[in-house]
């Protein structure tokens, strides 16, 4: 694949299941070595999108190219380019971590001479060497997720897709996955991740596409998307526990306008605060849907 070509090019992608249209003509591109996040609530079409990218689901219309290969016309070539880690760790709990890696390596027809050093290297990289010969049934959720990602990297894919990679993980395990994503990107691997978690997209992604109702309703870097909201946000903390976030241009006149509106409501206000916009504000503006936030 030429360095000038995007790693992924999606144009007018449509997909329905029965009468339900899940993807309604979405388009986006992902540069090589980029971390690209698909952000959206449940049902927005994120998982269907990544399943089309990985040839698990056939599109109804549009064109999807991964690594220079059309997913419909050249699925085998796509398979050599991409690896997918699903929402739930696809590991055999009766096998050890090492056995899982070796089994998947053999199923993937990896060179036998390369398999053992490759397995040992991935176990070390993912902090699983000490647990390598224990059954996966004894692993924590974070360890299983790390093993699952390690399996995806066995064939040295150019594109790695992570579908909700940190769902259900504790903060320490989540941070470990975040570090791995950063390392992979630095090595030139293109990473596409789906997430409902705003801070995850903000921390990891070079660019974000916000999906809502099967459409891309916003796309750009986290900073670009935040500028859609405004320069600042006024947080209004009401005495009854309600919280309102109002975008502002940051000018004195606009802040005064917001304060006059609050005073005119006649509701008791406990305090006011100014802050920079977040992806939470972007999400609310683009979808009218609050996104999940980690505790």
Same domain? For 76 and 179 the reply is: yes
Point out the domain boundary residue: 176, 205, 222: 222
Is residue 282, in this structure, part of any structural domain at all? no
Is residue 173, in this structure, part of any structural domain at all? yes
Point out the domain boundary residue: 177, 206, 222: 222
What's the domain range around 247?
230-276
Same domain? For 217 and 256 the reply is: no
Q: For residue range 40-93, what is the model confidence (pLDDT) as tens digits?
A: 888 889 999 999 999 999 999 999 999 999 999 999 999 999 998 877 767 889
Is residue 161, in this structure, part of any structural domain at all? yes
Same domain? For 143 and 244 the reply is: no
Same domain? For 143 and 253 the reply is: no
Question: Domains in the chain: how many in total?
Answer: 2
Is residue 284, in this structure, part of any structural domain at all? no
Q: For residue range 177-228, what is the model confidence (pLDDT) as tens digits?
A: 888 889 889 999 999 999 878 788 888 999 999 999 899 998 999 888 877 7
Q: Which residues contact 65 (CB under 8 A, 6 or more apart)?
A: 8, 9, 10, 71
Question: pTM, whole model, 2 decimals?
Answer: 0.79
Same domain? For 212 and 120 the reply is: yes
Same domain? For 92 and 211 the reply is: yes
Same domain? For 29 and 175 the reply is: yes
- Residue 162: predicted pLDDT: 92
Beta strand pairing status for 232-238 and 243-248? antiparallel
- Residue 5: predicted pLDDT: 83
Point out the domain boundary residue: 201, 222, 243: 222
Comparing 174 with 70, the larger pLDDT belongs to 70
Is residue 109, in this structure, part of any structural domain at all? yes
Same domain? For 239 and 146 the reply is: no
Is residue 238, in this structure, part of any structural domain at all? yes
Q: For residue range 255-288, what is the model confidence (pLDDT) as tens digits?
A: 778 777 777 777 777 777 766 766 777 777 777 6
Same domain? For 215 and 269 the reply is: no
Same domain? For 135 and 269 the reply is: no
Same domain? For 218 and 234 the reply is: no
- Residue 66: predicted pLDDT: 96
Is residue 111, in this structure, part of any structural domain at all? yes
Is residue 285, in this structure, part of any structural domain at all? no
Average pLDDT on 147-165 reads: 91
- Residue 291: predicted pLDDT: 44
Same domain? For 64 and 174 the reply is: yes
Lowest-confidence segment of 14-18, 82-86, 120-124, 276-280 by average pLDDT: 276-280
pLDDT band at 171 (very low <50, low <70, confident <90, very high): confident
């Amino acid at each position: 694949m030429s360095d000038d070509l995007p790693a992924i090019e999606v144009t007018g992608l449509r997909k329905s299941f029965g009468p339900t249209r899940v993807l309604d003509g979405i388009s986006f591109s992902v540069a090589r070595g980029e971390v690209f996040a698909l952000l959206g609530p449940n049902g927005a079409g994120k998982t269907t999108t990544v399943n089309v990218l990985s040839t698990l689901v056939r599109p109804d219309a549009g064109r999807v190219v991964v690594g220079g290969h059309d997913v419909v016309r050249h699925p085998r070539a796509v398979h050599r380019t991409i690896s997918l880690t699903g929402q739930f760790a696809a590991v055999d709990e009766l096998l050890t971590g090492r056995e899982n890696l070796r089994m998947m390596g053999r199923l993937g027809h990896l060179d036998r001479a390369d398999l053992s050093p490759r397995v040992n290297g991935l176990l070390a990289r993912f902090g699983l060497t000490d647990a390598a010969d224990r059954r996966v049934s004894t692993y924590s959720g974070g360890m299983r997720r790390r093993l699952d990602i390690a399996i995806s990297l066995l064939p040295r894919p150019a594109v790695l897709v992570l579908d909700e990679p940190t769902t259900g993980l504790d903060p320490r395990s989540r941070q470990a996955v975040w570090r791995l994503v950063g390392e992979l990107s630095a090595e030139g691997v293109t990473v596409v991740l789906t997430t409902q978690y705003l801070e995850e997209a903000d921390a990891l992604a070079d660019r974000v596409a916000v999906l809502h109702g099967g459409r891309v309703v916003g796309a750009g870097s986290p900073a670009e998307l935040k500028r859609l909201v405004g320069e600042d946000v006024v947080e209004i903390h009401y005495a009854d526990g309600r919280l309102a976030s109002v975008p502002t241009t940051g000018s004195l006149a606009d802040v005064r306008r917001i304060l006059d509106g609050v005073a005119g409501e006649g509701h008791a206000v406990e305090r006011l605060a100014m802050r920079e916009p977040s992806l939470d504000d972007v999400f609310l503006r683009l979808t009218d849907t609050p996104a999940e936030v980690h505790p």
